[in-house]
Structure 1
Amino acid sequence: MKKPYTVKNKMRHFKFHDTLHFLQNVGKEKYGQEFRFHNEDIKILHKLIIYMIHEDIQCKKYGIDLNKGVLLTGPVGCGKTSWMNIIQVLLFQNQTFQVKSTRDIAFEFNQEGFSTVLKYGNRNKTLCLDDIGVEQNIKFYGNECNTIAEILLKRYDLLINHQVITHATTNLTANEIENIYGNRVRSRLRKMFNLISFPASTKDKRK
Protein backbone atom coordinates (compact mmCIF):
# COMPACT_ATOMS: atom_id res chain seq x y z
CA MET A 1 0.00 0.00 0.00
CA LYS A 2 1.39 3.38 -1.01
CA LYS A 3 2.27 5.65 1.90
CA PRO A 4 0.51 9.03 1.96
CA TYR A 5 2.66 11.96 0.87
CA THR A 6 3.67 14.15 3.79
CA VAL A 7 5.17 17.61 4.04
CA LYS A 8 6.74 19.09 7.13
CA ASN A 9 7.51 22.40 8.71
CA LYS A 10 9.84 23.18 11.59
CA MET A 11 7.27 22.20 14.19
CA ARG A 12 5.40 19.11 12.97
CA HIS A 13 4.52 16.78 10.09
CA PHE A 14 1.51 17.41 7.87
CA LYS A 15 -0.25 15.00 5.59
CA PHE A 16 -0.57 16.92 2.34
CA HIS A 17 -4.32 16.52 1.81
CA ASP A 18 -4.98 17.25 5.49
CA THR A 19 -3.03 20.49 4.98
CA LEU A 20 -5.18 21.36 1.94
CA HIS A 21 -8.36 20.87 3.93
CA PHE A 22 -6.92 22.88 6.80
CA LEU A 23 -6.17 25.74 4.38
CA GLN A 24 -9.65 25.43 2.89
CA ASN A 25 -11.17 25.84 6.36
CA VAL A 26 -9.03 28.94 6.90
CA GLY A 27 -10.32 30.23 3.56
CA LYS A 28 -13.92 29.60 4.60
CA GLU A 29 -13.40 31.59 7.79
CA LYS A 30 -11.78 34.44 5.86
CA TYR A 31 -13.83 34.55 2.65
CA GLY A 32 -17.08 32.70 3.42
CA GLN A 33 -18.44 29.17 3.30
CA GLU A 34 -18.44 29.04 -0.50
CA PHE A 35 -14.63 29.08 -0.51
CA ARG A 36 -12.94 25.80 -1.49
CA PHE A 37 -10.01 24.46 -3.43
CA HIS A 38 -10.60 22.73 -6.76
CA ASN A 39 -8.86 19.64 -8.09
CA GLU A 40 -7.14 21.77 -10.73
CA ASP A 41 -5.57 23.82 -7.91
CA ILE A 42 -3.87 20.92 -6.12
CA LYS A 43 -0.57 20.94 -8.03
CA ILE A 44 -0.25 24.69 -7.62
CA LEU A 45 -1.08 24.62 -3.91
CA HIS A 46 1.33 21.74 -3.42
CA LYS A 47 4.16 23.92 -4.74
CA LEU A 48 3.08 26.88 -2.60
CA ILE A 49 2.95 24.72 0.52
CA ILE A 50 6.36 23.13 0.08
CA TYR A 51 7.84 26.55 -0.64
CA MET A 52 6.31 28.22 2.41
CA ILE A 53 7.37 25.47 4.81
CA HIS A 54 10.80 25.13 3.16
CA GLU A 55 10.50 21.43 2.35
CA ASP A 56 13.97 21.28 0.79
CA ILE A 57 13.80 17.91 -0.95
CA GLN A 58 10.46 18.56 -2.61
CA CYS A 59 11.48 22.08 -3.62
CA LYS A 60 14.61 20.75 -5.33
CA LYS A 61 12.46 18.19 -7.13
CA TYR A 62 10.33 20.97 -8.64
CA GLY A 63 13.20 23.38 -9.23
CA ILE A 64 11.98 25.83 -6.58
CA ASP A 65 14.71 28.11 -5.23
CA LEU A 66 14.08 29.02 -1.58
CA ASN A 67 16.30 32.09 -1.97
CA LYS A 68 13.77 33.62 -4.38
CA GLY A 69 10.20 34.77 -3.94
CA VAL A 70 7.08 33.46 -5.69
CA LEU A 71 5.48 34.98 -8.78
CA LEU A 72 2.00 33.46 -8.80
CA THR A 73 0.32 33.83 -12.19
CA GLY A 74 -3.04 32.85 -13.63
CA PRO A 75 -6.30 34.12 -15.10
CA VAL A 76 -8.55 36.64 -13.38
CA GLY A 77 -10.50 35.09 -10.51
CA CYS A 78 -8.42 31.91 -10.14
CA GLY A 79 -7.63 32.68 -6.48
CA LYS A 80 -4.09 34.08 -6.55
CA THR A 81 -4.61 36.83 -3.99
CA SER A 82 -6.75 34.68 -1.71
CA TRP A 83 -4.19 31.89 -1.58
CA MET A 84 -1.27 34.25 -0.95
CA ASN A 85 -3.17 35.50 2.09
CA ILE A 86 -4.31 32.08 3.31
CA ILE A 87 -0.99 30.27 2.85
CA GLN A 88 0.59 32.48 5.49
CA VAL A 89 -1.04 30.46 8.29
CA LEU A 90 1.76 27.95 7.67
CA LEU A 91 4.39 30.56 8.54
CA PHE A 92 5.73 31.70 11.87
CA GLN A 93 4.49 35.15 12.91
CA ASN A 94 7.79 36.85 12.06
CA GLN A 95 7.69 35.36 8.54
CA THR A 96 4.30 36.68 7.46
CA PHE A 97 4.11 39.40 4.81
CA GLN A 98 1.81 42.13 3.57
CA VAL A 99 -0.13 41.53 0.37
CA LYS A 100 -0.38 44.99 -1.16
CA SER A 101 -2.39 45.91 -4.26
CA THR A 102 -0.25 47.60 -6.91
CA ARG A 103 -3.25 49.74 -7.82
CA ASP A 104 -3.38 51.06 -4.26
CA ILE A 105 0.36 51.75 -4.39
CA ALA A 106 -0.12 53.73 -7.62
CA PHE A 107 -2.82 55.84 -5.97
CA GLU A 108 -0.54 56.38 -2.97
CA PHE A 109 2.04 57.75 -5.39
CA ASN A 110 -0.59 60.19 -6.63
CA GLN A 111 -1.05 61.44 -3.06
CA GLU A 112 2.45 61.18 -1.61
CA GLY A 113 4.80 61.22 -4.60
CA PHE A 114 8.18 59.51 -4.88
CA SER A 115 8.32 58.68 -1.17
CA THR A 116 5.91 55.86 -2.08
CA VAL A 117 8.59 54.20 -4.20
CA LEU A 118 11.00 54.33 -1.25
CA LYS A 119 8.33 53.18 1.19
CA TYR A 120 7.76 49.88 -0.60
CA GLY A 121 10.98 49.57 -2.56
CA ASN A 122 13.25 49.88 0.46
CA ARG A 123 11.08 48.03 2.99
CA ASN A 124 13.47 45.58 4.60
CA LYS A 125 10.85 42.85 4.88
CA THR A 126 9.11 40.38 2.62
CA LEU A 127 6.32 42.01 0.59
CA CYS A 128 3.79 40.64 -1.90
CA LEU A 129 2.96 42.99 -4.79
CA ASP A 130 -0.55 41.96 -5.75
CA ASP A 131 -1.76 42.14 -9.36
CA ILE A 132 1.28 43.70 -11.01
CA GLY A 133 0.38 45.20 -14.37
CA VAL A 134 -3.14 46.39 -13.59
CA GLU A 135 -2.01 49.71 -12.16
CA GLN A 136 -1.64 52.77 -14.35
CA ASN A 137 1.20 55.25 -14.48
CA ILE A 138 0.18 58.06 -12.15
CA LYS A 139 1.37 61.66 -12.28
CA PHE A 140 2.54 63.55 -9.20
CA TYR A 141 2.68 67.30 -9.83
CA GLY A 142 3.09 66.59 -13.54
CA ASN A 143 5.81 63.95 -13.10
CA GLU A 144 4.79 60.55 -14.44
CA CYS A 145 6.33 57.46 -12.89
CA ASN A 146 6.09 53.74 -13.61
CA THR A 147 5.82 53.26 -9.87
CA ILE A 148 5.76 49.47 -9.72
CA ALA A 149 8.66 49.13 -12.15
CA GLU A 150 10.78 51.35 -9.89
CA ILE A 151 9.71 49.42 -6.79
CA LEU A 152 10.55 46.09 -8.46
CA LEU A 153 14.03 47.35 -9.34
CA LYS A 154 14.59 48.44 -5.74
CA ARG A 155 13.25 45.12 -4.44
CA TYR A 156 15.73 43.37 -6.72
CA ASP A 157 18.54 45.34 -5.07
CA LEU A 158 17.18 44.31 -1.66
CA LEU A 159 17.33 40.66 -2.71
CA ILE A 160 20.88 40.90 -4.05
CA ASN A 161 22.29 42.95 -1.18
CA HIS A 162 20.23 41.84 1.83
CA GLN A 163 18.47 38.60 0.76
CA VAL A 164 15.03 40.20 1.29
CA ILE A 165 12.42 38.29 -0.70
CA THR A 166 9.53 39.73 -2.70
CA HIS A 167 6.42 37.86 -3.85
CA ALA A 168 3.98 38.97 -6.55
CA THR A 169 0.82 37.96 -8.35
CA THR A 170 -0.22 38.80 -11.91
CA ASN A 171 -2.63 37.97 -14.71
CA LEU A 172 0.01 38.83 -17.29
CA THR A 173 2.29 36.74 -19.47
CA ALA A 174 6.04 37.34 -19.55
CA ASN A 175 5.72 39.27 -22.83
CA GLU A 176 2.95 41.46 -21.42
CA ILE A 177 5.10 42.23 -18.36
CA GLU A 178 7.96 43.27 -20.63
CA ASN A 179 5.66 45.53 -22.66
CA ILE A 180 4.55 47.35 -19.51
CA TYR A 181 7.76 47.44 -17.47
CA GLY A 182 10.50 46.96 -20.06
CA ASN A 183 13.17 44.34 -20.62
CA ARG A 184 15.28 45.54 -17.68
CA VAL A 185 12.52 44.69 -15.19
CA ARG A 186 11.66 41.41 -16.92
CA SER A 187 15.28 40.23 -16.67
CA ARG A 188 15.28 41.06 -12.93
CA LEU A 189 12.06 39.11 -12.41
CA ARG A 190 13.74 35.89 -13.53
CA LYS A 191 16.29 36.31 -10.74
CA MET A 192 13.72 37.42 -8.14
CA PHE A 193 10.96 34.84 -8.51
CA ASN A 194 10.00 31.20 -8.76
CA LEU A 195 7.21 31.08 -11.35
CA ILE A 196 4.14 29.15 -10.16
CA SER A 197 1.23 29.28 -12.60
CA PHE A 198 -2.42 28.36 -12.55
CA PRO A 199 -3.37 26.89 -15.96
CA ALA A 200 -4.71 29.38 -18.49
CA SER A 201 -7.91 27.30 -18.59
CA THR A 202 -8.61 27.86 -14.85
CA LYS A 203 -12.14 29.19 -14.47
CA ASP A 204 -13.11 32.37 -12.62
CA LYS A 205 -14.08 31.00 -9.20
CA ARG A 206 -15.93 34.17 -8.27
CA LYS A 207 -18.78 33.36 -10.67
Structure 2
Amino acid sequence: MKPQPHIKIEGTSKFQIGEIKDNNTVHYDFEKIKTYLNIKGHLLFGKNFKIYKEDEELIFKLCSYFIQDHFTCAKMGIDTNKGLLLTGPVGCGKTSLMKLLPYLAPHKTNYEIIPTRNILFSFNASGFEVLEKYNETKNYCFDDLGLEPTGCHYIKECNVMGEILLSRYDLFTNISQPALSLSKGRILTHITTNLNAVELEKRYGSRVRSRLRSMFNLICFNSSSKDKRI
Protein backbone atom coordinates (compact mmCIF):
# COMPACT_ATOMS: atom_id res chain seq x y z
CA MET A 1 0.00 0.00 0.00
CA LYS A 2 1.29 3.46 -0.89
CA PRO A 3 2.35 5.48 2.19
CA GLN A 4 -0.15 8.15 3.21
CA PRO A 5 1.64 10.57 5.54
CA HIS A 6 -1.35 12.93 5.45
CA ILE A 7 -3.66 10.27 6.94
CA LYS A 8 -3.42 9.36 10.62
CA ILE A 9 -5.11 6.23 11.89
CA GLU A 10 -6.08 5.83 15.53
CA GLY A 11 -7.97 2.61 16.17
CA THR A 12 -10.80 2.50 13.66
CA SER A 13 -10.73 6.27 13.02
CA LYS A 14 -8.90 8.13 10.27
CA PHE A 15 -7.77 11.74 10.49
CA GLN A 16 -6.72 13.64 7.39
CA ILE A 17 -4.25 16.39 8.31
CA GLY A 18 -3.51 17.55 4.77
CA GLU A 19 -3.69 16.79 1.07
CA ILE A 20 -1.19 15.38 -1.40
CA LYS A 21 -0.58 17.78 -4.29
CA ASP A 22 2.21 18.90 -6.59
CA ASN A 23 4.30 15.80 -7.25
CA ASN A 24 3.33 13.93 -4.06
CA THR A 25 4.01 16.87 -1.73
CA VAL A 26 1.85 16.95 1.40
CA HIS A 27 0.10 20.27 1.99
CA TYR A 28 -0.77 20.27 5.68
CA ASP A 29 -3.82 21.97 7.21
CA PHE A 30 -3.15 23.44 10.65
CA GLU A 31 -6.80 23.34 11.71
CA LYS A 32 -6.93 19.62 10.90
CA ILE A 33 -3.60 19.11 12.64
CA LYS A 34 -5.02 20.69 15.82
CA THR A 35 -8.00 18.33 15.69
CA TYR A 36 -5.70 15.34 15.37
CA LEU A 37 -3.36 16.56 18.12
CA ASN A 38 -6.27 16.96 20.52
CA ILE A 39 -7.41 13.39 19.83
CA LYS A 40 -3.90 11.93 20.04
CA GLY A 41 -3.25 13.96 23.17
CA HIS A 42 -6.31 12.46 24.83
CA LEU A 43 -5.05 8.99 23.99
CA LEU A 44 -1.54 9.66 25.30
CA PHE A 45 -2.19 11.89 28.32
CA GLY A 46 -5.85 11.53 29.28
CA LYS A 47 -9.12 13.34 28.77
CA ASN A 48 -7.92 16.62 30.30
CA PHE A 49 -5.41 17.25 27.52
CA LYS A 50 -6.25 20.02 25.07
CA ILE A 51 -4.63 22.54 22.77
CA TYR A 52 -5.01 25.96 24.40
CA LYS A 53 -5.86 28.97 22.27
CA GLU A 54 -3.07 31.05 23.81
CA ASP A 55 -0.49 28.41 22.79
CA GLU A 56 -1.55 28.09 19.14
CA GLU A 57 1.09 30.47 17.76
CA LEU A 58 3.86 28.51 19.48
CA ILE A 59 2.32 25.17 18.45
CA PHE A 60 2.11 26.36 14.84
CA LYS A 61 5.87 27.00 14.93
CA LEU A 62 6.53 23.58 16.39
CA CYS A 63 4.23 21.84 13.91
CA SER A 64 5.97 23.59 11.01
CA TYR A 65 9.28 22.27 12.33
CA PHE A 66 8.07 18.72 12.89
CA ILE A 67 6.55 18.41 9.41
CA GLN A 68 9.76 20.02 8.09
CA ASP A 69 7.98 22.85 6.27
CA HIS A 70 11.25 24.56 5.36
CA PHE A 71 9.63 27.59 3.70
CA THR A 72 7.29 28.44 6.59
CA CYS A 73 10.03 27.81 9.15
CA ALA A 74 12.42 30.11 7.31
CA LYS A 75 9.84 32.91 7.39
CA MET A 76 9.61 32.49 11.18
CA GLY A 77 13.38 32.36 11.65
CA ILE A 78 13.46 28.64 12.42
CA ASP A 79 16.32 26.55 11.03
CA THR A 80 15.08 23.03 10.26
CA ASN A 81 18.69 21.77 10.45
CA LYS A 82 18.93 22.63 14.14
CA GLY A 83 17.32 21.11 17.21
CA LEU A 84 14.70 22.69 19.46
CA LEU A 85 15.28 24.41 22.80
CA LEU A 86 11.77 24.66 24.24
CA THR A 87 11.51 26.86 27.32
CA GLY A 88 8.67 27.90 29.56
CA PRO A 89 7.24 27.88 33.10
CA VAL A 90 6.56 24.72 35.07
CA GLY A 91 3.56 22.78 33.77
CA CYS A 92 3.05 24.77 30.56
CA GLY A 93 3.15 21.62 28.40
CA LYS A 94 6.72 21.40 27.08
CA THR A 95 7.23 17.71 27.71
CA SER A 96 3.77 16.73 26.46
CA LEU A 97 4.32 18.56 23.17
CA MET A 98 7.74 16.98 22.62
CA LYS A 99 6.14 13.57 23.15
CA LEU A 100 3.11 14.34 20.98
CA LEU A 101 4.39 16.24 17.95
CA PRO A 102 6.64 13.52 16.45
CA TYR A 103 3.44 11.63 15.61
CA LEU A 104 2.75 14.21 12.89
CA ALA A 105 5.59 13.01 10.69
CA PRO A 106 7.64 10.27 12.38
CA HIS A 107 9.45 9.61 9.09
CA LYS A 108 10.91 13.13 9.27
CA THR A 109 11.60 13.84 12.94
CA ASN A 110 12.46 11.21 15.52
CA TYR A 111 14.31 11.06 18.83
CA GLU A 112 14.40 9.39 22.21
CA ILE A 113 13.16 11.58 25.05
CA ILE A 114 15.01 11.17 28.35
CA PRO A 115 14.57 13.09 31.64
CA THR A 116 17.90 14.60 32.63
CA ARG A 117 17.46 13.40 36.22
CA ASN A 118 17.47 9.80 34.92
CA ILE A 119 20.80 10.45 33.21
CA LEU A 120 22.23 11.72 36.50
CA PHE A 121 20.93 8.70 38.42
CA SER A 122 22.64 6.45 35.87
CA PHE A 123 25.89 8.41 36.12
CA ASN A 124 25.93 8.27 39.90
CA ALA A 125 25.45 4.50 39.73
CA SER A 126 27.66 3.58 36.78
CA GLY A 127 30.11 6.42 36.29
CA PHE A 128 31.63 8.03 33.24
CA GLU A 129 30.69 5.22 30.84
CA VAL A 130 27.17 6.69 30.90
CA LEU A 131 28.48 9.75 29.05
CA GLU A 132 29.49 7.56 26.11
CA LYS A 133 25.88 6.56 25.45
CA TYR A 134 25.04 10.12 24.39
CA ASN A 135 28.12 10.43 22.22
CA GLU A 136 26.29 8.36 19.58
CA THR A 137 24.80 9.09 16.18
CA LYS A 138 21.29 9.15 17.60
CA ASN A 139 18.81 11.94 18.18
CA TYR A 140 17.80 12.74 21.77
CA CYS A 141 15.48 15.11 23.61
CA PHE A 142 16.79 15.94 27.08
CA ASP A 143 13.76 16.72 29.22
CA ASP A 144 13.79 19.20 32.13
CA LEU A 145 17.36 20.37 31.68
CA GLY A 146 18.51 22.16 34.82
CA LEU A 147 16.43 20.21 37.32
CA GLU A 148 19.00 17.43 37.65
CA PRO A 149 21.45 17.41 40.61
CA THR A 150 25.22 17.54 40.19
CA GLY A 151 26.65 14.17 39.20
CA CYS A 152 28.89 12.38 41.68
CA HIS A 153 30.54 8.99 41.22
CA TYR A 154 33.06 7.76 43.78
CA ILE A 155 33.40 11.34 45.14
CA LYS A 156 34.25 12.66 41.67
CA GLU A 157 31.82 15.44 40.83
CA CYS A 158 30.85 16.11 37.22
CA ASN A 159 28.59 18.58 35.45
CA VAL A 160 27.14 15.65 33.54
CA MET A 161 24.68 17.45 31.27
CA GLY A 162 27.24 20.15 30.50
CA GLU A 163 29.70 17.49 29.32
CA ILE A 164 27.00 15.71 27.31
CA LEU A 165 25.93 18.94 25.59
CA LEU A 166 29.53 19.67 24.59
CA SER A 167 29.78 16.18 23.08
CA ARG A 168 26.43 16.64 21.32
CA TYR A 169 27.74 19.88 19.82
CA ASP A 170 30.73 18.03 18.37
CA LEU A 171 28.39 15.44 16.85
CA PHE A 172 26.13 18.16 15.47
CA THR A 173 28.95 19.97 13.73
CA ASN A 174 30.56 16.80 12.34
CA ILE A 175 28.15 16.23 9.44
CA SER A 176 30.43 13.61 7.87
CA GLN A 177 29.44 11.01 10.45
CA PRO A 178 26.65 8.57 9.60
CA ALA A 179 23.47 9.59 11.40
CA LEU A 180 19.92 8.65 12.06
CA SER A 181 18.87 12.25 11.60
CA LEU A 182 17.08 13.15 8.40
CA SER A 183 18.33 16.74 8.47
CA LYS A 184 21.29 16.72 6.08
CA GLY A 185 23.00 13.99 8.07
CA ARG A 186 23.24 16.00 11.29
CA ILE A 187 22.69 14.43 14.68
CA LEU A 188 20.10 16.56 16.43
CA THR A 189 19.53 17.28 20.10
CA HIS A 190 16.38 18.80 21.59
CA ILE A 191 15.87 20.23 25.07
CA THR A 192 13.02 21.24 27.35
CA THR A 193 13.84 23.50 30.28
CA ASN A 194 12.38 25.96 32.77
CA LEU A 195 15.62 27.97 32.72
CA ASN A 196 16.34 31.13 30.73
CA ALA A 197 19.60 31.83 28.91
CA VAL A 198 21.27 33.51 31.90
CA GLU A 199 20.33 30.63 34.19
CA LEU A 200 21.59 28.08 31.68
CA GLU A 201 24.95 29.85 31.48
CA LYS A 202 25.22 29.99 35.27
CA ARG A 203 24.48 26.26 35.50
CA TYR A 204 26.53 24.95 32.57
CA GLY A 205 29.05 27.70 31.74
CA SER A 206 29.70 30.09 28.88
CA ARG A 207 31.15 27.37 26.60
CA VAL A 208 27.89 25.45 26.68
CA ARG A 209 25.73 28.55 26.25
CA SER A 210 27.67 29.67 23.17
CA ARG A 211 27.20 26.25 21.60
CA LEU A 212 23.49 26.24 22.39
CA ARG A 213 23.07 29.17 20.01
CA SER A 214 24.53 27.11 17.18
CA MET A 215 22.65 23.91 17.97
CA PHE A 216 19.11 25.07 18.73
CA ASN A 217 16.10 27.07 17.68
CA LEU A 218 14.83 28.86 20.79
CA ILE A 219 11.06 28.44 21.15
CA CYS A 220 9.56 30.08 24.24
CA PHE A 221 6.23 29.79 25.99
CA ASN A 222 4.97 33.07 27.38
CA SER A 223 6.24 33.59 30.93
CA SER A 224 2.62 33.91 32.06
CA SER A 225 1.59 30.54 30.58
CA LYS A 226 -0.68 28.66 32.98
CA ASP A 227 0.20 25.42 34.72
CA LYS A 228 -1.95 22.91 32.81
CA ARG A 229 -1.42 20.24 35.45
CA ILE A 230 -3.45 22.10 38.07
Please tell me the TM-score bracket, short chain as reference: over 0.9
- The equivalent position to 1:167 in structure 2, one of 182, 190, 199, is 190
Q: Which runs of 5+ in 1 are unaligned?
A: 1-5
SS in 1 for 2:174: helix
The alignment status of 1:116 with 2:130, answered yes or no, reads: yes
The answer (yes or no) to whether the contact 1:99–1:130 under 8 Å persists in 2 is yes
Amino acid at match of 1:87: L
Per the alignment, residue 3 of structure 1 pairs with none
Distance 2:43 2:27 in 1: 23
Distance 1:15 1:50 in 2: 11
The answer (yes or no) to whether the contact 2:114–2:143 under 8 Å persists in 1 is yes
SS in 1 for 2:113: strand
Distance 1:152 1:61 in 2: 28
Alpha carbons of 1:8 and 1:83: their partners in 2 closer, same or farther (altered >3 Å)? farther
SS in 2 for 1:196: strand
Per the alignment, residue 148 of structure 1 pairs with 161
Query: Any runs of at least 4 consecutive aligned residues in structure 1 with deviations exceeding 4 A, and if so which?
Result: 6-11
| 1:126-147 residue CA offsets vs partner (Å, 9 max, x unmatched) | 1101111110112101110100
Amino acid at match of 2:209: R
TM-score scaled by structure 1? 0.93
Amino acid at match of 1:113: G
Report the aligned-residue RMSD.
Answer: 1.7
Per the alignment, residue 33 of structure 1 pairs with 47
Distance 1:145 1:133 in 2: 14
Distance 1:86 1:116 in 2: 27
| 1:22-81 residue CA offsets vs partner (Å, 9 max, x unmatched) | 011111001101100101110111011101111111111101011110000000000000
SS in 2 for 1:36: coil
- The equivalent position to 2:62 in structure 1, one of 32, 45, 48, is 48
Per the alignment, residue 220 of structure 2 pairs with 197
SS in 1 for 2:28: strand
The alignment status of 1:104 with 2:127, answered yes or no, reads: no
Per the alignment, residue 87 of structure 2 pairs with 73
Amino acid at match of 1:129: F
SS in 2 for 1:22: helix
Q: CA deviation at 1:200?
A: 0.2
The answer (yes or no) to whether the contact 1:8–1:53 under 8 Å persists in 2 is no
TM-score scaled by structure 2? 0.84
Alpha carbons of 1:80 and 1:185: their partners in 2 closer, same or farther (altered >3 Å)? same
The alignment status of 1:183 with 2:183, answered yes or no, reads: no
Structure with the higher fraction of residues in helix conformation: 1
Distance 1:190 1:94 in 2: 23
Please identify the structure whose Cα radius of gyration is greater: 2
The answer (yes or no) to whether the contact 1:7–1:50 under 8 Å persists in 2 is no
Q: Which moved more, 1:20-29 or 1:86-95?
A: 86-95
Distance 1:81 1:17 in 2: 22
| Count of residue pairs the alignment pairs up | 201
Alpha carbons of 1:193 and 1:180: their partners in 2 closer, same or farther (altered >3 Å)? same
Amino acid at match of 1:50: S
Q: CA deviation at 1:11?
A: 6.0
| 1:135-184 residue CA offsets vs partner (Å, 9 max, x unmatched) | 01121011101000000000000100032110000000100000000000
